[in-house]
Amino acid sequence: MHDARTLLDLGEDAVRRLARRGYALDLTTIEELFTRRNSSIKSADELRAESKQVAREVGKTAASGGDATELKEHARVLKEQIRAIEAEGEKVEAELRDLLLSIPNFPADDVPDGLSEQFNVEVRRHGTPPSFDFEPRDHVDLGEAMGIFDFARAAKLSGSRFTVTRGAGAVLERALATFFLNLHTGRHGYEEVSVPHLVNRQTMTGTGQLPKFEEDLFRTGVADRELFLIPTAEVPLTNLHAAETLPAEELPYAYTAWTPCFRSEAGSYGRDTRGILRLHQFSKVELVRISRAEDSRSELETMVGHAEACLKELGLAYRVVSLAAGDLGFSAQITYDIEVWLPSQETYREISSCSDTGTFQARRAAIRTRTKDGQRAFAATLNGSGLPIGRTMAALLEQQQQADGSVVIPEVLVPYTGFRVIGPDGTPQS
């Protein structure tokens, strides 16, 4: 969350920086609310000081046997005035907080200009997209023909935008998740964490999902408790250290978790709704790093490398792009998307977003650092997919498909699957 005083001090520079991502900053309203809040605080403090003085005078008058009636009435009036000013101050404070919580992060200065994905800049490519001497099928046709995807029964259970994965397909999903977790914990140094899949409003606010994106979330409750299904493990992993001060010399912290993710995908109908690319429920291995603010950019490069390693190990062709300012997520100051090749679409499609949020989320969640000599600062937080299971599976099926409708399993997954091929009828083959 932004600091009101900082935004006002930056003035038109803050307006310019947020305009790069298509956000119109209302400095006038911020200044009005900021001034009213400070005025309320000052008035309440002055009245409290006067109230204390009157209370002392009441005590002195009563002790001397005098009539303190007028003083007591004055004290009563002062208390009412204090309550009224405090109530007004709380109202203004809430308005200012709500406004500040709705303002996105500043894009980094070196993020490409542009208000949409068409201005994203390719950074690098890895691998060569496969060529086929037959017409490649998409993952939906492949999966349904093999019997490993069952969209009809998923719709019977839950409606559209869900899937049931069966047999060798379910084994492949589990194999991918286990492989990613082992890679990140064994080679990349992440600590695996099992986290709740339901979190409270404060937790969602800490990472920026609330209040702006409430319509994209699934909300539920237990008794009188309001809870939200997580859209990504970034939410609980980052908030593990909410309202904590971390020893700077111990950073970075690196966490990974495999969780289901739940998204309403409001406003996305008609976009990628075929197959398993955009579901209401999917599973993902998430990466989160918490570092010193000055280290966040190098930490981002490290995280991107960890996500890329997953695709390299699987032998999948992909590219990395730097998102334009207008295409950044709400909390990000810079994001690299990793896009995997989908033969059926003859294009690269996003499979991982790795973002550096700077201190933006840490300010909202009150995550601070402290050096040995006592210097305090806000931490930096970073998050990225490492990787989503469904989208990885779609890319694997499409890039590894054979003319007879079978799919070859990457060698690194064989120890986890126990088979090297999924036959045209879905039968595992060694």
Indicate which residues carry an active-site annotation.
Answer: 263, 278, 350, 353, 391
Are the CB atoms for 20 and 114 separated by under 8 Å?
Answer: no
- Supply angle C-alpha 96, 98, 100, rounded to 5: 70
Peptide bond into 211 cis (omega under 30): yes
Q: Which residues contact 221 (CB under 8 A, 6 or more apart)?
A: 227
- The C-alpha atoms of residue 186 and residue 114 are separated, in whole angstroms, by 39
Amino acid at 325: A
CA-based max dimension of the chain: 108
What's the token pair of residue 169?
């397909």
- The C-alpha atoms of residue 352 and residue 320 are separated, in whole angstroms, by 9
- The C-alpha atoms of residue 122 and residue 337 are separated, in whole angstroms, by 9
What's the token pair of residue 115?
């208000």
Q: Report the binding-site residues.
A: 232-234, 263-265, 286, 350-353, 385
Q: Report the binding-site residues for L-serine.
A: 232-234, 286, 385
Q: Which residues contact 2 (CB under 8 A, 6 or more apart)?
A: 100, 103, 360, 363
Number of helices (H), then strands (E), belonging to the chain: the values are 13, 17
Are the CB atoms for 302 and 295 separated by under 8 Å?
Answer: no
Strand order in the sheet with 407-408: 407-408, 421-422, 428-429
Are the CB atoms for 325 and 20 separated by under 8 Å?
Answer: yes
- Crossing angle of the two packed helices 296-314 and 389-399, in degrees rounded to 10: 40
Are the CB atoms for 380 and 358 separated by under 8 Å?
Answer: yes
